[in-house]
A = this chain, B = another copy of it.
Amino acid sequence: MLLPTFFRSVEEDYYHLKQHVQLWDVACERQIEVSGPDAQALLQLVIPRDLSKLRAGQCIYTPIVDQDGMVLNDPLTIKLDDERFWVSIADSDIGLLLKGLALGSQMRARVHEPDVSPLAVQGPKAVLLMQRLFGAEIANLKFFRAKQFEFRNHDLWISRSGYSKQGGYEIYLTPASLGEALWDDLMNAGQDLEVRAGCPNLIERIEGGLLSYGNDMTSANTLAECTLDKYFDIDEAPLCIGYAALKREQLDGGPARQVRMLRIDGDRVPACIDPWPLYTPSAPAGQVTSAAWSPDLGENVAIGMVEAAYWDLGRVLNLSCADGSRRTATVKGLV
Interface, chain A (partner B; CB < 8 A):
45, 66-67, 72, 92-94, 96-107, 241
Of B92, B100, B106, which is within 8 A of A100 by CB? Answer: B100
Distance A107 CA – B96 CA, assembled complex (angstroms)? 18
In the complex, which of the residues B67, B96, B107, B241 contacts A72, with contact meaning CB atoms closer than 8 Å? B96
Rounded to whole Å, the gap between the CB of A115 and the closest CB of chain B is 12
Residue pair A102, B103 in contact (C-beta under 8 Å): no
Q: How far is the CA of A263 from the CA of B82 in the complex (A)?
A: 51
Contacts A66-B99, A72-B96, A104-B104 known; list 14 others, CB within 8 Å.
Answer: A45-B104, A92-B93, A92-B96, A94-B96, A96-B96, A96-B97, A97-B99, A100-B102, A100-B103, A101-B101, A103-B104, A103-B105, A104-B107, A105-B105
CB proximity of A62 to chain B, nearest CB, Å: 16
The distance from the CB of A2 to the nearest CB of chain B, in whole angstroms, is 9
B72, B94, B100: the one contacting A104 at CB < 8 Å is B100
- For this chain, the copies found in one complex come to 2
**A107 / chain B contacts, CB cutoff of 8 Å:** 104
**Known contacts A92-B93, A93-B93, A102 near B104 by CB under 8 Å:** yes
The CA of A66 and the CA of B113, in the complex, are separated in Å by: 14
**In angstroms, how far is the closest chain B Cβ from the Cβ of A106?**
8
Chain B residues near A101 (CB-CB < 8 A): 100-101, 103-104
Q: Which residues of B contact A241 (CB under 8 A)?
A: 103
CA distance A45 to B101 in the complex (A): 12
Residues of the B chain whose Cβ atoms lie less than 8 Å from the Cβ of A102:
100, 104
Check A66 against B97 for contact (C-beta < 8 Å): no
* Closest CB in chain B relative to A97 CB, distance in Å: 4
Measured in the bound complex, the distance between the Cα atoms of B100 and A309 in whole Å is 35
Distance of A45 Cα from B67 Cα, bound (Å): 20
Q: Which residues of B contact A93 (CB under 8 A)?
A: 92-93, 96
